[in-house]
Amino acid sequence: MTGQLEELLAKVGVATSFSDAGLNRKYYSVPEDVLRFLSGKLGFPAGDSEEVKKSLEKFEQYTWHKPLEEIYIVKENALSFAIILSKEESEKKISIELKKQSKTKKIEVDYILAGTSETKKVDGKFKIKHLLQIHSHLEVGYYDLVLKIGAEKYKSVLAVAPQKCYQQDIFNQGKVWGYALQLYSLKSNRNWGVGDFTDLATFVEMCGRNGADIIGLNPINVLSHDYPENASPYSSISRLFIHPIYIDVENVPEFLPADVSSLKKRLAEVRESELILYEKVYPLKMEVLEKIYARFSTSATKKRQDEFEKFCKEKGEELNKLAVFQALYEENTKKIWGGWRQWAEAYRSPSSVEVKQYAEKNARRVGFFKFLQFEADRQFKLAYALVQKQGMKVGFYRDLAVGVGQDSAELWANNELFIAESGAGAPPDAFFPAGQKWGLGAFNPYKLKEVAYQPFIDILRANMSMAGALRIDHVMSLMRLYIIPEYSQSGTYVMYAFEDMLNLVALESYLNQCLVVGESIGNVPEGFLERLEAVNIKSMSILWAERYGAGWGDFMPPHDYPREACVSVGTHDIAPLRMWWFGYDIELSRVLGLITSDDDKIGAYKKREADRWKLLCVLDSENVWPADNLRKADYLYGEGYPEGIEEAVHHFLSKTNSAVFLAQLEDILHVEKLQNLPGTDMEHPNWRRKLPVALENLERDIAYIRNVNAIKTER
């Protein structure tokens, strides 16, 4: 690799090497073709030495071509930013105007403009960097900024961020508990084979009775309409909107009992199945919702029609783009394979004349998809209203996926904002030596800033809506994301404007009064967690990771757990407690080839046996076994299962310093199967597990009663 190429990659933010997160850290050099490819896709071609030279020049002049950048993101106590002026412009009358967004009144501010020693010759003119310092107080929020230079005007956005993210009082006093819930997994006697918003409302009421203050939800963003089997909540088609599968059809105001009079057999099938039958549940719901929409269109009350119009207006162009995309996709998928990129070119962009004409011609079908969002939003709000009525201290703890599916409305609507012909994934590690190729669309950091980060801001707002907390999946993506070209199995890290991203998260957290939690399981850069802590982004803590010796030693006692954290036994990607105890996950991984040899399987079982003993020891030392079900043996393999261990573990985690404890119903109800097995797709029934106990029976279930009591001994 040439020195100039290495210099370009360092400036642009493409890592030439990286290390993994293993106990015995490995280092990887990135193939040069991958480096050149990604640099080019970021807008800095590096195909040969001449392109590298030109791209270096382009980067050096990147922010010097015009007086203002598209956005300035500053802290509320450091209101200063750089502007670029030519010598001639510096001699003209210069002034600024500020207006808070959504307000009409201009704000008078005191400021000074001071030249710096930084100069550069751009397009034949010498430019000087000036520092504009505002001395007046500005409230946290977004401002329209106008810079006047003589008769010329230049516009930008000034985002004033708080020092830290919003924080509820629970982190200053007391401790709370609640559930990490996969909404789709809720089983009830009345739902249509998948958990819905009425189930969620029922669960909220149950939490109120039992003293739970937080409900962690899986991402509930909209998934594919035409391929309901693509059920991963982490691969949505839009992170701005809700998946209509969660609509309780019978709770739609225009529903009539006659709508399901001929569907009893189909409803019984999806309700009684062990797994969620997405390929039957979703079409069934859409079939009835289409009838309801037809009725809504002709005979809904004026109030409902007005509410629908208001919703469409508030959601604006983004809702229209989603609905048009879904209508187009539904039509094209019947005749064209390969997703929206294979459509006729005229239909690959929402701004084309042909797409606008299609939307007008198919207004009724587009309206149906808008109606789905309208009703999903209404029903989610009903559940949220119950959260507020119950006085839950946190309420819904929503989950923001790290990326979006390639074949999605987000990429169709703003394709130029994403790194082309590439996708996000994970680097090699001990579990996946070749890495993981998720293929999720990832923002191009340069293009994102050119639109003032608005798509990122919109996504934060949409997922902080009706939430007391937001979990940011793979929070390291605020700093860097592992990107893999479509043609390759190798990838590398692409860097993002970390301070900008952090400040925007803090700003939206403050405006929405929403706690932020960062999921940081994986390859975490040195010093990264400290930066999150400094801005009040809380950590996630799981039982299996809170151990000495980099996760291989003894389990930590409760008093060593971090206070500023949400703690749980595991996650949806980790075996439930009973499955973990018996090692069923190890056998499953061997059967599916994730563990590649019998020797490795035997090694995993030996480590698991040691881990089981260490867990028993820490539970003993903390005296958390239920008084009427104390440990009776060492429970080596073949000695059965320690009844009461779920209660002991929940009691143990409730004792920890961590302000928030999230229990999983899968652990409480002795589930022996995984919700999701990373590294698999359809070869394992991911995202399809129903809970074994119906919602109506949950509070009478002895395991539920005993585990809730164990939690409440300390919370």
Give the torsion sign (CA, 300, 305, 311, 317): positive
Single out the residue in 116, 133, 161 at which a domain terminates.
161
Single out the residue in 109, 136, 161 at which a domain terminates.
161
| Same domain assignment for residues 81 and 157 | yes
Single out the residue in 126, 144, 161 at which a domain terminates.
161
56 falls within a domain:
yes
Domain with 106 in it: what CATH number? 2.60.40
Please write down the long-range contacts of 546-553, taking CB distance under 8 Å and 24 or more positions apart: 547/614, 550/23, 551/23, 552/23, 553/614
693 falls within a domain:
no
The pair of structure tokens assigned to 206 is 């149950």
pLDDT in tens, 351-397: 999 999 999 999 999 999 999 999 999 999 999 999 999 999 999 99
The whole-angstrom separation of Cα 113 and Cα 82 is: 9
Q: Which residue has the tokens 């260490």?
A: 614
13 falls within a domain:
yes
- Name the band, by pLDDT with cuts 50, 70 and 90, for residue 434: confident
pLDDT in tens, 656-678: 999 999 999 999 999 999 999 98
The whole-angstrom separation of Cα 637 and Cα 500 is: 52
Q: Are 159 and 100 in contact (CB under 8 A)?
A: no
Least confident of 69-83, 352-366, 518-532: 518-532
The whole-angstrom separation of Cα 440 and Cα 491 is: 13
| Same domain assignment for residues 37 and 83 | no
The pair of structure tokens assigned to 540 is 């996630």
DSSP codes joined into one string, 515-572:
EEEE---S-PPTTHHHHHHHTTPEEEEETTT-BHHHHTSPBPPGGGS-SSEEEES--T
The whole-angstrom separation of Cα 463 and Cα 238 is: 11
163 burial (CB, 10 Å; 0-12 / 13-18 / 19+) is middle
The whole-angstrom separation of Cα 394 and Cα 439 is: 33
Q: Are 154 and 146 in contact (CB under 8 A)?
A: yes
User: Exposed e or buried b for every residue in 641-671, given b needs 16+ CB within 10 A?
Assistant: ebebbbbbbbbbbbbbebbbbbbbbbbbbbb
DSSP H helices, 350-407, are 353-361, 363-390
For range 553-581, the mean pLDDT:
95
Residue 22: the pLDDT is 65
pLDDT in tens, 108-159: 999 999 988 899 998 888 999 999 999 999 999 999 999 999 999 999 999 9
Residue 681: the pLDDT is 86
157 falls within a domain:
yes
Residue 430: the pLDDT is 66
75, 85, 668 from 134: Cα distances, Å: 12, 18, 55
Query: Up-side HSE of residue 692: CA atoms within 13 Å toward CB?
Result: 13
| Same domain assignment for residues 50 and 85 | no
The whole-angstrom separation of Cα 655 and Cα 622 is: 9
Three-state DSSP class for residue 664: strand
For range 339-361, the mean pLDDT:
97
| Same domain assignment for residues 109 and 157 | yes
| Same domain assignment for residues 52 and 88 | no
Residue 227: the pLDDT is 96
The whole-angstrom separation of Cα 98 and Cα 105 is: 9
The distance between the two most distant Cα atoms of the chain, rounded to a whole number of Å, is: 86
Q: Are 68 and 153 in contact (CB under 8 A)?
A: no
Paired with 696 in beta bridges are none
The pair of structure tokens assigned to 241 is 């909107």
The whole-angstrom separation of Cα 375 and Cα 384 is: 14
Paired with 100 in beta bridges are 143
DSSP codes joined into one string, 68-132:
S-SEEEEETT--EEEEEEEHHHHTS-EEEEEEETT--SEE---EEEEEEEEEEEETTEEEEEEEE
For range 305-334, the mean pLDDT:
97
User: What is the DSSP pairing of strand 436-440 with strand 422-426?
Assistant: antiparallel
| Same domain assignment for residues 55 and 100 | no
Q: Are 568 and 542 in contact (CB under 8 A)?
A: yes
Report phi then psi at 240, rounded to 5.
-95, -15
Residue 96 has pLDDT above 90, yes or no: yes
Paired with 158 in beta bridges are 72, 143
| Same domain assignment for residues 81 and 130 | yes
245 burial (CB, 10 Å; 0-12 / 13-18 / 19+) is buried
299, 307, 376, 674 from 270: Cα distances, Å: 31, 32, 21, 20
Sheet holding 152-161, edge to edge: 71-75, 152-161, 141-149, 94-100, 106-107
Displacement of CA 220 from its chain's centroid (Å): 10
Residue 638 has pLDDT above 70, yes or no: no
Report the domain count for the chain.
Answer: 2
| Same domain assignment for residues 43 and 88 | no
Query: Domain limits at 29?
Result: 3-60
382 falls within a domain:
no
Give the whole-number percent of the chain exceeding pLDDT 90.
Answer: 88
- Name the band, by pLDDT with cuts 50, 70 and 90, for residue 71: very high
The whole-angstrom separation of Cα 270 and Cα 444 is: 42
358 falls within a domain:
no
504 falls within a domain:
no
Residue 173: the pLDDT is 77
On average, the pLDDT of the chain sits at 95
Report phi then psi at 129, rounded to 5.
-85, 125
545 falls within a domain:
no
pLDDT in tens, 534-544: 999 999 999 99
